[in-house]
């Protein structure tokens, strides 16, 4: 399999994972290890609890070969996002950030205007910005132009587990993009992940489907395999499928050979 | 201006009550098995007597919906009572003006000691509570208290008297995240009966408080009715109506619903609240409360649902799996209760006196992670 490169960083695994919703931190850690993921995102607002209740999520994310990707979940506009990214850079000592601006706390829909503004500002401030965004081909090009080294369009509403509802748009995004496309949100089953990879997505980010599975560790493993299978199939070049049968009286037969 | 009191006028209490009572098993099934977002009509069916036989199914669906949206996590918070002074007469409350109790408003050093004591228990999310004593406990006091408390915690909420929009905006700038403002009851007549004197007797001012909060740009608004004051199904429908209205108009704000049930308190005869003129009772049973919580979860998979230490240990142990997202623990409902005055008067009696870490271990045993910090004080 081809090595994925984002902003000069190499990834053997094309499965990125989240850290929310797990029943315990140790289970989260085991699942991440089983997933083979080398990049895990964590909401910065969850980090840094100064108490003795074992609520130190970062401690459980110290896994060899796994890089932390703090995200700005919870912010409502570009200003707050930039502030949170700066806080995360200082506290977690990484200039990578997953930019998430969803001012709508119900459906967690990303705000395209604020996201583009924040991405522009954060790139200037020296961040590696991976923006979570709508499956909007124009917006993805604008984010690329702003200097983002990858885009993270959604497959369907976050947490919905309803698969690639935005497939037609994702195909355009992947076709047009000069930077890696990471399908984020809505991937509810390994088959969805495989589908995204077969389409040519460069990576996927999965959280809920692993975290709330009956056995998160086994599910993480299943996603690892499906992402690998999907990528291999893409690299092997899928045979085209014909939608209609061969016509019995060809229209171009009169041309001869 | 478009405000909730205009919406409320269009809904008749008796009609809504009758509509809920007339729901049938097929209404309940239609509400349960639909694949599109549920409506307030569906909510009526789910809280109706006709839904009682479907309770286990509702609980399974509610649990699954909460797990999908919030995962296996429960947010932990604790109240910090700053003052029990109150000029209102609320016939169910221990702080009621006529109650001859020792009145305390915490001073600077006392606030800090309480904050330190709470912090030691591991809390990052704190809820500031007061009575309503306009002259002594109003904006200057709140602003000062916030400045003292903010360095200790990641997330600060308030449950105090209703304020003006500009006042809320100012408190938000100083670090306020959420405001809990329970209407107590949406029945205007009953409201007057339970709140005969004081500023709180103004039903409409309280009713449109969430509108003022939404306009001020608050992060989260907590709604609820005090269960036991009125017929719970109809009252809860109005609360859900309020919720839906607010979500459409203040779409950047998050919402939570709480389920306070009347608790014994000093000077209060609880029995009197559970009987109305017809000899029937407003008391809500455990079974009915579970039905209500599940109905909210099915109405809105994204809403935060909160249960306090008003509820018993046994009830709380089971309810955390049914769709609830946040609980308090280790609570004291008297000012100074954590570090200073173990004797001063409580607003209501606590029903689950386990320590926060005991509650966290209970969650862990059930496969749930207690979340202590889910916000950052710099935001």
Chain B residues near residue A214 by CB distance under 8 angstroms: none
Asked if B72 lies within 8 A of A75 by C-beta distance, the reply is no
List active site positions of A. Answer: 98
Closest in A25, A45, A50 to B375, CB measured: A45
pLDDT for the residue B117: 95
Asked if B252 lies within 8 A of A161 by C-beta distance, the reply is no
> Domain ranges in chain A?
8-255
Rounded Cα–Cα distance for residues B329 and B307 (Å): 10
Closest in A20, A47, A84 to B71, CB measured: A20
B4-371: in CATH 3.40.605.10: no
Rounded Cα–Cα distance for residues A25 and A206 (Å): 17
Search chain A and give the residue with CA nearest B379.
Answer: A80
Asked if the C-beta of A106 comes within 8 angstroms of chain B's C-beta atoms, the answer is: yes
Chain A residues near residue B356 by CB distance under 8 angstroms: 53
A144 contacts A154 by C-beta, under 8 angstroms: no
pLDDT for the residue A158: 86
Asked if the C-beta of A175 comes within 8 angstroms of chain B's C-beta atoms, the answer is: no
pLDDT per residue rounded down to tens, chain B (379 residues): 568 998 999 999 999 999 999 999 999 999 999 888 899 999 999 999 999 999 999 999 999 999 999 999 999 999 999 999 898 888 888 888 888 888 899 999 999 999 999 999 999 999 999 999 888 899 999 999 999 999 999 999 999 999 999 999 999 999 999 999 999 999 999 999 999 988 999 999 999 999 999 999 999 999 999 999 999 999 999 999 999 999 989 998 999 999 999 876 666 666 665 555 454 578 889 999 999 999 999 999 999 999 998 899 999 999 999 999 999 999 998 899 998 876 656 777 778 889 999 999 999 999 999 999 889 887 7
ipTM score for this prediction = 0.72
Search chain A and give the residue with CA nearest B356.
Answer: A53
Asked if the C-beta of A48 comes within 8 angstroms of chain B's C-beta atoms, the answer is: yes
Search chain A and give the residue with CA nearest B70.
Answer: A21
Domain A8-255 maps to which CATH number in 3.30.70.260, 3.20.20.70, 3.90.650.10, 3.10.300.10? Answer: 3.20.20.70
Question: What pLDDT band is residue A53 in, cutting at 50, 70 and 90?
Answer: low
Asked if the C-beta of A87 comes within 8 angstroms of chain B's C-beta atoms, the answer is: yes
> Domain ranges in chain B?
4-371
Asked if A48 lies within 8 A of B373 by C-beta distance, the reply is yes
If you average pLDDT over residues A69-97, what whole number do you get?
A: 93
Interface of A with B in 121-160 (CB under 8 A): 159
Rounded Cα–Cα distance for residues B215 and B247 (Å): 12
pLDDT for the residue A47: 85
CA angle B222, B228, B232 (to 5 degrees): 70
Task: Choose among A132, A129, A134: nearest CA to A145.
Answer: A129
pLDDT for the residue B310: 87
pLDDT for the residue B95: 83
Cα B312 to Cα B8, B73, B309, B334, B353: the distances in Å are 34, 20, 7, 19, 9
Question: What pLDDT band is residue A250 in, cutting at 50, 70 and 90?
Answer: confident
pLDDT for the residue A238: 80
pLDDT for the residue A7: 94
Average pLDDT over chain A reads: 91
Closest in A53, A106, A212 to B360, CB measured: A53
pLDDT for the residue A58: 87
If you average pLDDT over residues A164-189, what whole number do you get?
A: 93
pLDDT for the residue A137: 94
pTM above the 0.95 mark?
A: no
Closest in A25, A49, A52 to B124, CB measured: A49
pLDDT exceeds cutoff 80 at A156: yes
Task: Choose among B236, B337, B215, B344: nearest CA to B282.
Answer: B236
In B139-231, which residue ranges form alpha helices assigned H by DSSP? 139-149, 165-173, 188-194, 203-207, 209-216
Residue B156, beta-bridge partner list: B126, B176
Q: Number of A:B CB contacts under 8 A?
A: 98
Question: What pLDDT band is residue A91 in, cutting at 50, 70 and 90?
Answer: confident
pLDDT for the residue B37: 87
CA angle A136, A139, A143 (to 5 degrees): 135
Closest in B154, B371, B376 to A84, CB measured: B376
pLDDT for the residue B269: 61
Question: What pLDDT band is residue A149 in, cutting at 50, 70 and 90?
Answer: very high
Asked if the C-beta of A24 comes within 8 angstroms of chain B's C-beta atoms, the answer is: yes
Strand A15-18, strand A203-206: pairing: parallel
Question: What pLDDT band is residue A49 in, cutting at 50, 70 and 90?
Answer: low
pLDDT for the residue B345: 66
Tell me the backbone φ, ψ of residue B251, rounded to 5 degrees. -75, -10
Asked if the C-beta of A21 comes within 8 angstroms of chain B's C-beta atoms, the answer is: yes
Asked if B122 lies within 8 A of A161 by C-beta distance, the reply is no
């Amino acid at each position: 399999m081809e090595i994925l490169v984002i902003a000069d960083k190499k990834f053997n695994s094309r499965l990125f994972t989240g850290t929310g919703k797990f029943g315990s931190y140790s289970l989260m850690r085991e699942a991440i290890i089983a997933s083979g993921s080398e990049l895990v995102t964590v909401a910065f607002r969850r980090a840094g609890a100064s108490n003795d209740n074992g609520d130190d999520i970062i401690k459980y994310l110290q896994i060899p070969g796994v890089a932390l990707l703090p995200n700005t979940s919870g912010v409502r506009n570009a200003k707050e996002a930039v502030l949170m990214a700066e806080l995360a850079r200082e506290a977690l000592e990484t200039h990578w950030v997953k930019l998430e601006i969803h001012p709508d706390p119900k459906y967690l829909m990303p705000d395209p205007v604020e996201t583009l503004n924040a991405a522009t500002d954060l790139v200037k401030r020296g961040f590696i910005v991976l923006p979570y965004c709508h499956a909007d081909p124009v917006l993805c090009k604008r984010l690329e132009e702003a200097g983002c080294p990858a885009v993270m369009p959604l497959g369907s509403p976050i947490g919905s587990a309803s698969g690639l509802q935005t497939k037609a748009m994702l195909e355009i995004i992947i076709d047009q993009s000069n930077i890696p496309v990471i399908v984020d949100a809505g991937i509810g089953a390994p088959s969805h992940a495989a589908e995204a990879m077969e389409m040519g997505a460069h990576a996927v980010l999965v959280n809920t489907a692993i975290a709330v599975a009956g056995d998160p560790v086994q599910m993480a493993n299943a996603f690892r395999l499906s992402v690998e299978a999907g990528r291999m199939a893409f690299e092997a070049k899928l045979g085209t499928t014909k939608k209609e049968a061969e016509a019995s009286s060809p229209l171009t037969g009169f041309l001869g050979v | 201006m478009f405000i909730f009191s205009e919406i409320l006028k269009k809904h008749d209490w008796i009609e809504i009550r009758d509509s809920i009572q007339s729901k049938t098993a097929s209404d309940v099934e239609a509400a349960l098995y639909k694949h599109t977002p549920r409506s307030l009509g569906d909510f009526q069916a789910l809280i109706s007597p006709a839904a009682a036989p479907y309770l286990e199914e509702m609980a399974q669906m509610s649990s699954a919906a909460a797990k999908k949206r919030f995962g296996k996590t429960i947010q932990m918070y604790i109240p910090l009572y700053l003052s029990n002074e109150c000029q209102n007469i609320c016939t169910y409350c221990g702080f009621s003006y006529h109650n001859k109790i020792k009145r305390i408003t915490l001073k600077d050093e006392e606030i800090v000691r309480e904050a330190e004591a709470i912090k030691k228990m591991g809390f990052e999310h704190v809820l500031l509570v007061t009575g309503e004593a306009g002259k002594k406990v109003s904006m200057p006091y709140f602003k000062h208290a916030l400045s003292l408390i903010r360095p200790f915690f990641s997330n600060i909420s308030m449950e105090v008297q209703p304020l003006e929009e500009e006042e809320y905006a100012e408190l938000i700038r100083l670090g306020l995240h959420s405001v809990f403002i329970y209407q107590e009851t949406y029945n205007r007549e009953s409201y007057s009966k339970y709140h005969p004197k004081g500023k709180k007797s103004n039903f409409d001012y309280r009713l449109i408080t969430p509108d003022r909060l939404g306009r001020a740009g608050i992060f989260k608004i907590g709604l609820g009715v005090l269960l036991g004051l009125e017929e719970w199904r109809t009252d809860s429908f109005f609360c859900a109506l309020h919720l839906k209205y607010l979500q459409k108009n203040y779409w950047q704000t998050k919402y939570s619903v709480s389920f306070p049930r009347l608790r014994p308190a000093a000077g209060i005869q609880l029995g009197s609240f559970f009987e109305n003129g017809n000899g029937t009772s407003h008391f809500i049973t455990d079974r009915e409360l579970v039905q209500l919580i599940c109905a909210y979860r099915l109405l809105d998979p994204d809403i935060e649902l909160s249960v306090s230490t008003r509820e018993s240990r046994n009830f709380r142990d089971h309810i955390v799996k049914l769709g609830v997202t946040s609980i308090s623990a280790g609570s004291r409902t008297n000012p100074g209760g954590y570090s200073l005055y173990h004797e001063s008067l409580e607003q209501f009696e606590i029903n689950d006196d386990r320590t926060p870490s005991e509650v966290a271990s209970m969650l862990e045993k059930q496969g749930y992670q207690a979340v202590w910090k889910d916000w950052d004080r710099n935001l």
